[in-house]
Structure 1
Amino acid sequence: MSVAGKTILYTGAAGGLGLRSTLALLAKGARVVAVDHDPAKIAALTEAAGGDAGLHLVATDMSDLDGFRAALTEASAATGGFDVVINNAALYPSKPFDEFTVEEHQAVQRVNVDAGIVAVQVALPTMRARGWGRIVNIASVTFYGGWALLSPYVASKGALVGLTRAWAREFGPDGVTVNAIAPGAFPTDAEKIHPDPEGYTRFVLDHQAVKRRGTPDDIAEALAFLASDAAGFITGQTLNVDGGWVMH
């Protein structure tokens, strides 16, 4: 399951599930091109990495797709190209469907889906030239059961599952695998939208087979596996990392 020596492009790498996963991948010997836009989170990641030479930070607004493409193109040239892409960055607005404007829906899709398309477009030529690549899209268990008040987010995660399958079929002949991870409920900043945190934790544990909350390390280990040679015959799949919430 080694990712040592691989260059990993990781969007949303400084917050939520990203920070601990980034540190875990660095500890496994990978170079991580960490993309984020929040200065405080970037500073926290920089401090936590402790000067690790494998960390390459890209501070950019992913909603500006042209600017994002330019930043990734520059980072690709500086690092010798990307072996792995992890599309993790996401917006997570919550309110009733009829209160969302079309423009708000589109803003979520632009970051959660369109920016991931840009990342793959930048990375794919190098992967094809090397005959090896890994793409991991971070989906969500909300796609399976639907989730009230999160329609733009759920729609975006469904789009990522669809792209996972289409890209897997198209890129497989080039030695590039494409998979998704669907995290369950993890105690991150995204949960702050819930007015009753303790009640929400009880709800989560009632639905999971494993009676503990997930940790970022659970995601990090799944990422390391899918990004490694050990997962070379797995593609087009969505791996639920959710403590047995959704089973299929």
Structure 2
Amino acid sequence: MISVTDKTILYTGAAGGLGMETTLNLLRAGAKVVAADNNPAKVADLSGKAEQEGLRKLMIRTIDLSDLATLRRELEAVSAEVGGFDIVINNAAIYPSKPFEDYSLEEMQAVQRVNVDAGIVCVQVALPHMRKKGWGRIINIASVTFYGGWTNLSPYVQSKGALVGLTRAWAREFGAYGITVNAIAPGAFPTDAEKIHPDPEGYTRFVLDHQAVKRRGMPSDISNALMFLASDAAGFITGQTLNVDGGWVMH
């Protein structure tokens, strides 16, 4: 049975294009969601929708994920307040686009800091509670770009590869404590991330040509996968990367 009732979830990028639908569904399912997001407009939209539905278990924390020391302090304070995190969803990411040779090392490190290092901090803060409880779920959001075929996104692809590697390492290390660790690799979803493409219609044709399912992905497609992996129903699945991409990647 898929249930997250009374679970406390730390969700980065929870108000974003693929985050909001899942956040609302988790709240509807009875979970408490600590939404870490620093986009004021999207946070206001999420808060408004939750309030409109009477979903009272939403906690918004406006945190700069690139400031790792502050992130750790704030998350430790929130963890103490809510009694620990049962589920961590590492979703937030930045995605600059330009040729590899035009990136400075500092720019590449900045992507790594937000997309990977912030997730490491989230897991380090949540892990003691999960181990003590003997139950936990960690879900990393990877990307179809990890499998190749994209130019000008080297730091982003590198960061998503790191998350896949951490998924496997954490799954092996944390399994003895009843903690599962999995990744979801979304395909090409129509979110703000697509605005980096100069020809939207051409990009849509490119996406559909590569997918087996000939429609664009919807936030609910990601939400359904996340809800499953976060539940007891997925308790014997760990170390896996689930491609939610309409059949783009098959292996």
Task: Please tell me the TM-score bracket, short chain as reference.
Answer: over 0.9
State the Cα distance separating 1:146 from its structure 2 match.
4.6
Q: Distance in 1 between matches of 2:88 and 2:145?
A: 22
Which residue does 1:54 correspond to in 2? 57
TM-score by length of 1: 0.99
- Structure 1 residues 208-232: Cα deviation after superposition (integer angstroms, max 9, x where no partner): 0011100111101100100000000
1:15 partner amino acid: G
2:37 partner amino acid: D
Contact 1:11 1:86 in 2 (8 A): yes
Residue 230 (structure 2) pairs with residue 227 (structure 1):
yes
Contact 2:28 2:55 in 1 (8 A): no
Task: Select which of 161, 168, 172 maps to 1:165.
Answer: 168
Residue 212 (structure 2) pairs with residue 209 (structure 1):
yes
Once the two structures are superposed, the pairs formed by residues 16-35 of structure 1 within 5 Å of their partners are 16-35=17-36
- Structure 1 residues 26-80: Cα deviation after superposition (integer angstroms, max 9, x where no partner): 1111111000011111111111111521101111100000111111111111111
Q: Distance in 2 between matches of 1:89 and 1:141?
A: 16
SS in 2 for 1:120: helix
State the Cα distance separating 1:109 from its structure 2 match.
0.1
Q: Distance in 2 between matches of 1:87 and 1:146?
A: 24
Once the two structures are superposed, the pairs formed by residues 89-168 of structure 1 within 5 Å of their partners are 89-168=92-171
The alignment's C-alpha RMSD in Å is: 0.8
State the Cα distance separating 1:4 from its structure 2 match.
1.1
Task: Select which of 87, 91, 99 maps to 1:88.
Answer: 91
Structure 1 segments, 4+ long, off by >4 Å, are none
Which residue does 1:200 correspond to in 2? 203
| Structure 1 unmatched ranges of 5 or more | none
SS in 2 for 1:13: coil
Residue 227 (structure 2) pairs with residue 246 (structure 1):
no
Aligned residues: 248
Q: Distance in 2 between matches of 1:207 and 1:54?
A: 39
Which residue does 1:69 correspond to in 2? 72
1:10 partner amino acid: Y
State the Cα distance separating 1:21 from its structure 2 match.
1.2
Q: Distance in 2 between matches of 1:75 and 1:215?
A: 31
Contact 1:146 1:154 in 2 (8 A): no
| Structure 2 unmatched ranges of 5 or more | none
- Structure 1 residues 129-181: Cα deviation after superposition (integer angstroms, max 9, x where no partner): 00000000000011012521000000000000000000000000010000000
TM-score by length of 2: 0.97
SS in 2 for 1:2: coil
Q: Distance in 1 between matches of 2:89 and 2:28?
A: 17
Contact 1:3 1:28 in 2 (8 A): yes
